[in-house]
Structure 1
Amino acid sequence: MNRNAWITATFSMSASLATLLVSTVMVEAWTDEEPVFQTHYDGVTNDLLTAGLGKSGLGSTTPPAFTDPLHPMPEELRRLAIYSNYRALIDPTPGGGYGSLYGPNVTADGTVTNGEGLIAGDEYITFDRGDDGHGHVTMMVQVPDSYDPAKGCIITAPSSGSRGVYGAIATAGEWGLKHGCAVAYTDKGSGTGAHDLQNNTVNLIRGERQDAAVAGDDSNFTATLTRRERAAFNAAYPNRFAFKHAHSQKNPEKDWGRNVLQSIKFAFSVLNKKFGQRGAEISKRNTLVIASSVSNGGGASVRAVEQDDEHLIDGLAVGEPNVNPEFSSKFSIVQSGRPPLQAHSRPLIDYITLVNVFQGCANLAAANAAAPLNAAPSTQRCADLHTKGLLAGSTLADQANEAQKIINDFGILPEQNLVQPGYWFAFVPQSISVTYANAYGRFSVADHLCNYSFGASASGVPGSLAPSAEAAIFGTSNGIPPTAGINLINDAAPDGPREDRVSTPAQNLDGALCLRSLATGKDAASGTKLFGPQSVGAHRINEGVEQIIASGNLHRTPAVFVTGRSDGILPPNFASRAYFGLNNVVEGSISPLHYYEVTNAHHLDSFNQFAGYNAMFIPLHRYFIQAMDLMYDHLLHGKALPPSQVVHTIPRGDGAPSITLANVPPIVDTPPASALITFSAGEVNIPN
């Protein structure tokens, strides 16, 4: 199977200009001397949630096209961005629950309608440049026409992953809009900013491409290179890109909590501009605020609650949050029948670089033979790991089983083993390792960390990105390669620069070991302490990681986490379970955190549309929606939150028949004792 056949979107549906005509005005600065773009959507030809595509358009496998593919209009780019981001976060197939369990046509109370689910309202978008004046963090607020100041609410929607400002439209965005709330979005400084270094073009805030010199401070992201530095880099590595998350040199994750808090303040500013003249000021005193989102966005909202000195946030409800909790030896994690885990709470850069070293070999383990999308194993990766002394087995079978055992012995749950080969095929751990190492260490694109770069490629050989693909990059990019035609390039390949995984028979093991060494501060092959430039690089990454560690203190703010037990990106023992334990240590008997762990659920619901995943896994999104409902009911009506529990789901099974409510039982108020998640005597107890 060609990996890009299902990662890369193709444009074949014509878009009517008439359906994109909306009224956009640029309002003078409201905060920090930044202009605000304000657009009203009528909910008929265009709207806040679906960009006029409706349930049917978002569910279509044919993405919206541009009238002029080389010069798309901002509204066309917005439409494509909403389409791409929405489908990336949910399973868009009816059999998986789209249109029945979730989707634009499913109302706030769960009623399934025959409608398209368009939502009228106003959208406001601006930059927050931060304390240094050069942050270029995008903020956006959507206010549905149904918003009632007398029942005011704000839902935060920081983007998932490295996505742009529409990167939580399908999760927190949809829930908030359906409930008549204002939704406060932010790209967290890691969103879609792609600098074409060869042609020196960048994105503006609404997605148009422009020469970087002309764009100036209006650029979403421009790499901080002098003209001479850029020319030298282009001469050595032509047709490369710098990406905002990886190459901003700002370690954006350290500010994710502040970004969320700023988006809330922007929402209050918007609401007061829109409704303030009708009565009293709209403020925390009369407006409910729920911090939300999933993955990186969920982690950003967790950090916002930890840093919420102004008490803006009333409650927290997040899915699979990327949290890096501070390690505490005061607790262990015990899953029934398994040894206690003391080495929990590892940071993402630690466990993702370990997976990046061993997964290509582990794919060949006999137990993984049935793993869906297991299309990129490497026998040479196994052999080279053995040659370097990292695997002891002498046969391929022994080596593959040993690689899988190393991953699981590290604390990564075996429930994720069948998930991970497909993630490897889609290049998930590889690209996360490169992006986050660059980000944490604040490396420039010119630092060329571990000989990696970002660029388009054809048959594995780097080349120029098609002009039409570059024009659409705001609408198609997820902010991390492979995306929008941009791949990870191994510039140290024996035959010259090549697309990373096909660059060597061992899938660039040297690059993976370089990243692992920088993450641990020790040579990944020998175990000896690094010295020289590598030691400096490792120190920089470690400093960056220290800046993003979560304290575990939610200041008694009611909170809900939902996480899939089979999460192959943010393993529960290092993220959600670990944070639950830390919070119980920090806040003790007054811990406000309720943790719901869902079986047969993993990190990327969008994979559930593919054969194998659809039979084995259920949509975690179903439980994100319930978590939001529970928190809303708790804050609005005082209903108690259900106790922490494991939710046991039933996969669709052979042939993947259409999902039903029987597959996804609810989080319950009185779970059996055998399902309760507890913290006692210094142990997080997780039942099977």
Structure 2
Amino acid sequence: MMPIAHSACRPVVVLALALGLAACASAPRPVTPSMIERDASAFRVQRTTSHRDGDDLLTAGLGLAGLRMLAPPAFADAAAPTPVELRRRAIWSNWRGIADLAPGGGYGEVYGSVATVPGREFSALATVPGARQPHRVLVQVPDAFDRTRRCVLVAPSSGSRGVYGAIAVAGAWGLPKGCAVAYTDKGTGSDYVDLDARTGMQADGSIAALGTEALAFAPEVPEGATGVAFKHAHSQDNPEADWGRHVRQAAEFALVALDEAFPAEAPFTFANTRVIAVGISNGGGAVLRAAEQDGDWLDAVVAGEPSVLVDGHDSRALYDYTTEAMLLMPCALLAMDDLPQPPLQAQARGQWTERCRVLREAGLVDGSDADAQARDALARMRASGWTDEALRAGALSVGFDLWRAVAVNYASAYGRFGIDAHPCGYGWSAQNAEGSRRVATAQERAAWWSDASGIPPGAGVGIVDDSVRVDPSLSRLQCLRGLWSGASVEAERVHRGVAETRAGLPRKGLPVTVIHGADDGLIPMAFTSAPYVAKARAAGRDVRFWQVRHAQHFDAFLGLPDYGARYLPMLPYVYRALDRTLDALEQGKSLPGDAVIDTVPRAGKPLTAEHLALP
């Protein structure tokens, strides 16, 4: 088998003007051949920073020991952190939100790298045509970038995380190998707006007043609005509809950054630079959307546990199965044994029993007592496609109230609802102990960019629900579900938004590897990866599928003893797929084939390679 070659001729867009990359540039650069295939006017507020001598690209100088620290890196002035402090803390937060760094979990020892990688970062705000708000793009170029291989990984953030949200996925694999890594927050992220203080986040993560030119998110703020707004929920762009274009723009910005970094070797183009897209969760869905983008600009795709929707093949929309789980799963879990801990079933039983009762009153389940109601809820979920493995792992999402958090955010995003316009009356704010709104402190506000995950609750921001009872506002939960199952004007808006996110087919000949945990309880494989693979293969596309037994969605939760004993991490399989893909592209080796991977749970022991059974 010959190495997969780059196309010698690709569609080009010749620019009339090229913007300077450095933030201090006073005049545009002249047009050069390296400007082919990208629209430089899409990038603004461009910055370049160096990261060496205790402040590297991969861990910001923290190393594995620093990343494992339970407390985040401190700010010298908690109310006014510097951009350097914000970056270090954002990298710490995003590593810990994605990877299992706990001792015995194997990271940095059995798999993965936290090598010291000196280099430069090039960042900008980019806007896809038609969007109201920008997305962040950031390119890490290691000093040891291999200019003879010209390798770029383009990596959208998982979940709704900020621009460093894929550093443990792509940076950890690509930077030590001499590849550049291009990130995008894909229109989500932690650029929160304090509606009380009328402030937002600048390109460097620092706080500035609304109206400042360099803000990464500048929404329309209604008179009298209070609380917190954030980009995923309030951009009114439905960012998920553009995730593929966000990935493409990040790849384009990588070429701009490489020209700036190595002018003697310019131009860097899609014809002479290898581009692999990789992501997990929402990032996995984003790279699959990138795979369908026009043009021969992308060489391969690796998608881990992707949130993806297709027509047919029993695919279900995220909003559909999330709102179903939000309502029924707390009751259904009462009928299941051997649930992972937490949540502690003995402590949760009272709340879950109450959920069964109110579901019965609402006519959503049948049964004369809690046990019968739980069995009915479980039967309904199984009938709609949930496996017992996904239901057990989904107990974590019940315990941490993730289903409601996702539903509240995505209802706003899909419906393109603005600030204070949530159709079910929810809001977001700093909160008092009993859940009432309050004004955020300067210290809380200063840490949002580095600490927040992009979907509250977290980092001092919570979901405001003024009608919470013992069971959090079933009427409002039913409202959220009604945006999928009902026929209101608001429901039609949500359905239109969901329809905009449906994935098409990958480009013919583009190698795609999809990896999913068989026990995934947040983005069940049966609703997402399996239908995508079936649809792509039916159309003759080049897709292979790795199904990992005893693997769920959240590597970061494997530090919880019971989860670490039951489940294996997903990142080693993403790294292995990247290894195999790069070998195929560069050396002509075989691409990875289909695999059902029979792992061996750790059962409380330190992780070894034998547990992983890597293909």
Q: TM above 0.5, one fold?
A: yes
The answer to whether the 8 Å contact 1:176/1:182 transfers is yes
Which residue of structure 2 aligns with residue 629 of structure 1? 579
1:64 aligned to which of 55, 68, 73:
73
Q: CA deviation at 1:313?
A: 0.5
In structure 2, distance between residues paired with 1:254 and 1:583: 19
1:528-583 Cα deviation digits (max 9, x unpaired):
xx3xxxx1101111111111100133322011111101111111111100101000
Residue pairs, 1:108-147, within 5 angstroms: 117-132=115-130, 134-147=132-145
The answer to whether the 8 Å contact 2:45/2:214 transfers is no
In structure 2, distance between residues paired with 1:297 and 1:133: 19
1:384 aligned to which of 358, 366, 382:
358
Q: Does 1:222 align with 2:187?
A: no
2:309 aligned to which of 298, 321, 324:
324
In structure 2, distance between residues paired with 1:391 and 1:586: 40
The answer to whether the 8 Å contact 1:194/1:203 transfers is yes
Q: Does 1:598 align with 2:583?
A: no
Which residue of structure 2 aligns with residue 255 of structure 1? 242
Residue pairs, 1:210-359, within 5 angstroms: 210-213=208-211, 215=212, 217-225=213-221, 229-231=222-224, 233-234=225-226, 240-276=227-263, 278-279=264-265, 281-307=267-293, 309-328=294-313, 344-359=314-329
Q: CA deviation at 1:273?
A: 2.1
Which residue of structure 2 aligns with residue 556 of structure 1? 509
Which residue of structure 1 aligns with residue 452 of structure 2? 477
1:308-359 Cα deviation digits (max 9, x unpaired):
x22110011121111111225xxxxxxxxxxxxxxx1111111111111112
Which residue of structure 1 aligns with residue 49 of structure 2? 39
Which residue of structure 1 aligns with residue 107 of structure 2? 98
Q: Does 1:643 align with 2:593?
A: yes
Which residue of structure 2 aligns with residue 434 of structure 1? 408
Which residue of structure 1 aligns with residue 18 of structure 2? none
The answer to whether the 8 Å contact 1:162/1:478 transfers is yes
The answer to whether the 8 Å contact 2:105/2:607 transfers is yes
Q: Secondary structure at the match of 1:284?
A: coil
Q: Secondary structure at the match of 2:514?
A: strand
Q: Secondary structure at the match of 2:249?
A: helix
Q: CA deviation at 1:103?
A: 4.1
The answer to whether the 8 Å contact 1:172/1:293 transfers is yes
In structure 1, distance between residues paired with 2:392 and 2:575: 26
Q: Secondary structure at the match of 2:525?
A: coil
Tell me the amino acid that sits aligned with residue 271 of structure 2: R
Which residue of structure 2 aligns with residue 18 of structure 1? none
The answer to whether the 8 Å contact 1:247/1:444 transfers is yes
Residue pairs, 1:538-553, within 5 angstroms: 538-553=491-506
RMSD over aligned Cα atoms: 1.7
Q: CA deviation at 1:370?
A: 4.9
Structure 2: stretches of 5+ with no match in the other structure: 1-21, 30-39
Q: Secondary structure at the match of 2:50?
A: strand
Q: CA deviation at 1:368?
A: 5.1
In structure 1, distance between residues paired with 2:360 and 2:340: 25
Judged with a 3 Å threshold, the aligned counterparts in structure 2 of structure 1 residues 75 and 101 are, in CA distance, closer, same or farther, namely same
Higher relative contact order (CA closer than 8 Å, sequence separation 6+): 2
Judged with a 3 Å threshold, the aligned counterparts in structure 2 of structure 1 residues 160 and 133 are, in CA distance, closer, same or farther, namely closer
The answer to whether the 8 Å contact 1:141/1:270 transfers is yes
Q: CA deviation at 1:432?
A: 0.8
Q: CA deviation at 1:369?
A: 4.8
The answer to whether the 8 Å contact 1:191/1:245 transfers is yes
TM-score (norm 2): 0.91
Tell me the amino acid that sits aligned with residue 334 of structure 2: L
1:78 aligned to which of 62, 72, 87:
87
How many residues of Structure 1 are paired with residues of Structure 2 in the alignment?
577
TM-score (norm 1): 0.81
Which residue of structure 2 aligns with residue 372 of structure 1? 342
In structure 2, distance between residues paired with 1:418 and 1:27: 55
Q: Secondary structure at the match of 2:424?
A: helix
Which residue of structure 1 aligns with residue 523 of structure 2? 570
The answer to whether the 8 Å contact 1:27/1:35 transfers is no
Q: Which moved more, 1:31-40 or 1:555-564?
A: 31-40
In structure 1, distance between residues paired with 2:380 and 2:464: 27
Structure 1: stretches of 5+ with no match in the other structure: 1-23, 106-116, 235-239, 329-343, 494-502, 523-529, 668-688
In structure 2, distance between residues paired with 1:471 and 1:465: 10
Q: Which moved more, 1:357-366 or 1:369-378?
A: 369-378
Which residue of structure 2 aligns with residue 465 of structure 1? 440
In structure 2, distance between residues paired with 1:223 and 1:285: 38
Judged with a 3 Å threshold, the aligned counterparts in structure 2 of structure 1 residues 164 and 658 are, in CA distance, closer, same or farther, namely same
The answer to whether the 8 Å contact 2:392/2:521 transfers is no
1:175-212 Cα deviation digits (max 9, x unpaired):
11121111111111111121111111111112111111
1:217-262 Cα deviation digits (max 9, x unpaired):
321213312xxx331x33xxxxx11111011111011111001101
Q: CA deviation at 1:661?
A: 1.3
Q: CA deviation at 1:101?
A: 2.2
Q: Secondary structure at the match of 1:256?
A: helix
Q: Secondary structure at the match of 2:513?
A: strand
The answer to whether the 8 Å contact 2:133/2:218 transfers is no
Q: Which moved more, 1:286-295 or 1:364-373?
A: 364-373
Q: CA deviation at 1:293?
A: 1.3
The answer to whether the 8 Å contact 1:26/1:35 transfers is no
The answer to whether the 8 Å contact 1:27/1:38 transfers is no
Q: CA deviation at 1:27?
A: 4.2
